[in-house]
Amino acid sequence: MSGHAGYDVIVLGLGGWGSAITARLAQRGQRVLGIDRYTPPHDKGSSHGHSRLIRVSSVEHPSYTPIMQRSYELWHDLEQATGLQVFTRTGGISFGPPDEEVIRDLPPAYEPYGLPYQWIERDEARSRYPMLRLEPGEVVILDESAGILHPERAVEAHLALARQYGAELLLGAGETHWEASAAAVHVRTEVGEYSADRLVLAAGAWMPDLLGYPLNLQVERQVMLWWQPRSHPEWFRAGTLPWFIGACDPPYEIIYGVPDMDGEGVKFGMHRGGQLGHIDAIERDILPEDIAVVRGYIQRRMPELEGTLLNAKTCVYTNTPDRHFVIGSHPLEPRVVVAGGGSGRGFKFCAVIGEIVADLVIDGATRHDIALLAPTRPAVRT
């Protein structure tokens, strides 16, 4: 390949992560070209569906909490810089028996950092959340600082910020290929060829096709279903109902929901347990069994919500075996930085991942603790 228009950095993939990375690199004065095969925000990858849960504590590992605290700051900065609202504070509740993972793992995640949460016994919870049917012995944990990110708007905001700082964006570029030489990286798209000193791969569920080395990433089908309440619509609106998480029957681990934000209904999704496969082989239609799982849950837990199914969409996770992200230098190509493996929880980190990857590209290191995320760790090597 022969390149033209030398850039400092090319970013491949401008979804949740790549848009933030491009914005941050441009803010730090890099000549950046962001390339996406489609035109984000779009509904083919992982960053659509109107809402993503965010809370500062992380049950996966304590080292994520300071990173999340920085992400909250950066989401706020993004809103200030663009005038676009990307975060809505709704609060978030987890409910279940105290020994259930969704409850048991929370106090150890909050307490070491002095993060506030409320432990609400069943009787009080039933009066505060009349829409929720709690079993005897179940409790609720409330995090009032939790909220919702609006993913499509967040991608738009990061792309707008990137442009504001001079980044060039090539959207709808079609198939892309890259190679690295001793002197540069070269990217070929369906509309042109480009070269740069450095390359960032942030292609979400397409990463396995793009990486050029085997990394243990699994693409998983997810569904999102929006329901209109049968009665008491006021119970289900943001401001009254926080987002909620509870345990779910196998094969799913968790079921979660988002309150009605703009009359679009209450959104449900199941965490884990979806079909695995190549991104091109994922079932995109909504199946009767998808609807049945959520309807059954609603009948047991929120019967007043069993009204009309308003909308449904599929989406994909890109999972690592240990559920930690993959961020760091490409093991074979020192000019390339890899950022992927969002594992169903990567959206709230987009803003700080932009900062981390910009640090790695420009400084070769970051102040954030990303030891768990190394692309060379045994858990992600195949």
Ligand X SMILES: Cc1cc2nc3c(=O)[nH]c(=O)nc-3n(C[C@H](O)[C@H](O)[C@H](O)COP(=O)(O)OP(=O)(O)OC[C@H]3O[C@@H](n4cnc5c(N)ncnc54)[C@H](O)[C@@H]3O)c2cc1C
Quick one: which of 3, 13, 259, 354 contacts ligand X (CB under 6 A)? 13
Taking the complex as a whole, the smallest distance from the CB of residue 25 to ligand X amounts, in Å, to 15
Q: Which amino acid is at 71?
A: S
User: For the chain, what is the total number of helices (H) and then of strands (E)?
Assistant: 9, 19
CA 89, CA 74: separation in Å to the nearest integer? Answer: 15
String marking each residue 18-47 x if it binds ligand X according to CB under 6 A: x----------------xxxx-x----xxx
Q: How far is 23 from 354, CA to CA, in rounded Å?
A: 7
Query: Binding string to ligand X for residues 176 to 205, with x set by CB under 6 A, is what?
Result: x-------------------------xxxx
| Calpha distance 254→270 (Å, rounded) | 6
Contact pick of 28, 335, 345, 368 for ligand X (by CB under 6 A): 345
Q: Which residue is nearest to ligand X (CB)?
A: 15
Q: Which is nearer to ligand X, 246 or 346 (CB)?
A: 346
In whole angstroms, give the CA distance from residue 339 to residue 116: 31
Q: Which of residues 304-333 bind ligand X (CB under 6 A)?
A: 315-317
146 contributes a contact to ligand X by CB under 6 A: no
At position 270, the amino acid (one-letter code) is M
Stretch of residues binding ligand X (CB under 6 A), selected from 12-20, 67-75, 292-300, 326-334: 12-20
CB of 211 to ligand X, least distance (A): 10
Among 3, 7, 10, 12, binds ligand X (CB under 6 A): 12
| Smallest distance, ligand X to C-beta of residue 44, A | 6
DSSP string of 214-268, one letter each residue:
-B--EEEEEEEEEEE-SS-GGGGBTTTSPEEEEE--TT-SEEEEE-BSSSS-EEE
* For ligand X, the closer CB: 96 or 204: 204
Q: How many CA atoms lie within 13 A of 237 on its CB side?
A: 7
Q: What is the nearest approach in angstroms of ligand X to the Cβ of residue 124?
A: 26
Which of 3, 34, 49, 229 is close enough to bind ligand X by CB under 6 A? 49
Q: How far is the CB of 210 from ligand X (least distance, A)?
A: 5
Rounded CA-CA distance 47/256 in Å is 17
Number of residues that bind ligand X (CB under 6 A): 38
* From 50, 158, 186, 348, residue interacting with ligand X (rule: CB under 6 A): 348
Looking only at residues 89 through 118 of this chain, which bind ligand X when binding is defined by CB under 6 A?
Answer: none
- Amino acid residing at 333: E
Closer CB to ligand X, 304 or 329, in the complex: 329
**The Cα angle at residue 221 between residues 45 and 349, in degrees rounded to 5:** 55
CA pair distance 244, 96, nearest whole angstrom: 11
d(Cα 176, Cα 307) in Å, to the nearest integer? Answer: 44
The only residue of 229, 344, 354, 375 in contact with ligand X, by rule CB under 6 A: 344
The residues in 204-263 that bind ligand X, with binding defined as CB under 6 A, are 204-206, 210, 222, 224
Nearer to ligand X, 259 or 344 (CB): 344
* Residue (of 358, 374, 377, 378) closest to 366 by Cα position: 358
Edge-to-edge strands, sheet with 147-149 = 52-54, 147-149, 87-89
| 317 and 344 Cβ atoms separated by less than 8 Å | yes
Among 346, 356, 366, 380, binds ligand X (CB under 6 A): 346
Distance CA 284, CA 277 (A): 12
The CB-of-191 to ligand X minimum distance in angstroms stands at: 12
Binding residues for ligand X, per CB under 6 A? 12-18, 35-38, 40, 45-47, 49, 52-53, 176, 202-206, 210, 222, 224, 269, 315-317, 340, 342, 344-348
